[in-house]
Every structure is written in C-alpha cells, then in structure tokens.
Amino acid sequence: MEKKWWQKEVIYQIYPKSFYDSNNDGIGDIKGITQKLDYLESLGITMIWICPIYQSPMADNGYDISDYYQLNPEFGDMKDLDELIERAKEKGIKIVLDLVINHTSDEHPWFQDLLKNPEDSKYRDYYILKSGQDGMPPTNWRSVFGGSVWEPLKNTNEYYFHSFGVKQPDLNWENKQVRNELYKMVNYWLKKVLPGFA
C-alpha cells in the first residue's frame, strides 16, 4: 500500500507555551519556535505540529477557541506566524496547526449571542440544546472531564451539551451553516500555505 504524503513525515509536536520563550515573559511563543528552527532541523524532522495558538481564554490550554481567525496574543501575532511558516519552508519543514472544531469556547461570539438571546439567537442551532425533564438534565451521560455533559442554559428549561469541559459547548455538526462557517475558516488557514491540520 502506497503511503500518503503525511505518513512519510517526521513530526515534532510543540506545545508552544512551554517550548521556548523568546521575550522572557515566562511564556513560550511563536518567535521562540522560529528561533529554534536550526535545532529542530538538526533532529531530522520534516513537520512541526503546533498545539492550539488561536485566541482563547485558556480554560483548557487553548483547546477552547474563542476566535478561529485570531491568535492568542501571548503567543504572538500573525506576522510572527507568517515568518515561522516562511522560515520553516526554507528548511523543508512543514507547519500544521492543531485545530479544534468539535466545540468552541463559551466566550466565542456565537455562544455569547446565544446566552444573550436564548430564544432568538441566530446561533441557537449552532450548538446542541435539549430540554430538561422535571429540573433534571436530558440524560445521565458523563463528560470526558467529569460531571454531566449537560449544563443549564440560564433562564430557560434547556441545557447545552459539552462532551469536554463546561466552558466548551459542542458545535452542532448537523447544521449546514455551522459546517460552512468552519469550512470557510479552514480554507482561510490553508491559504497561509499550511498543508493541513492536526
């Protein structure tokens, strides 16, 4: 069986916050990865997998994304990322970003709009909502992080579903609008010459 291109890569995963701090603020950053490219190249790697660097309140180490189009300022800005991609490319190293599209942060504008307008929000069907029964959640399912997968939606009889943390409401992939929004976002990042996502 012929291997796909990504099966031939030598991948080095980086959690940026703890990798290399370029400005001595105690937090690893994108410039820190760029500064270590010679070292990474010497290891013989051909791809860097960077854990989430998108805007996030960091309730789950960046896996709770509040804006898919912005970077978390503690890691740097888009210019820093563009430089990293370009410098890595010169060394034959691809960059892939860890992308979470199962859920958003509860601080994402879509969910914030839902909280403000639970009945009329245009993003109501972007998330998974179910009515409770006699003041109890819809099911007794447990989340990956412990506790119920259901969290009450304030001032309603409804609950929102979160398979992970309570601050990570799951997206409703049955909704075509949700899928289209995420496809658009994925294409935005692919245009930055990323070969893909982890």
Please tell me the predicted confidence (pLDDT) of residue 164: 97
Please tell me the predicted confidence (pLDDT) of residue 19: 97
Average pLDDT estimate for 16-27: 96
* Mean of the per-residue pLDDT values of the chain: 95
Measured torsion, CA atoms of residues 120, 124, 130, 136, in degrees rounded to the nearest 10: -70
- Two tokens, residue 131: 């009515």
For 3, left (φ over 0), alpha (ψ -120 to 50), or beta?
beta
Domain boundaries along the sequence of the chain: 9-101+177-190, 106-170
User: Over the stretch 91-134, which tens digit does the pLDDT of each residue have?
Assistant: 999 999 999 999 999 999 999 999 999 999 999 999 999 999 88
Tell whether pTM > 0.85: yes
Q: In this model, does residue 1 exceed pLDDT 80? A: no
Residue 73 pLDDT class (50, 70, 90 cuts) = very high
To the question of domain 9-101+177-190 being in CATH 3.30.750.90, the answer is yes
Q: Which CATH number does 106-170 carry? A: 3.90.400.10
- In this chain, the answer to whether the domains covering 9-101+177-190 and 106-170 adopt an identical fold is no
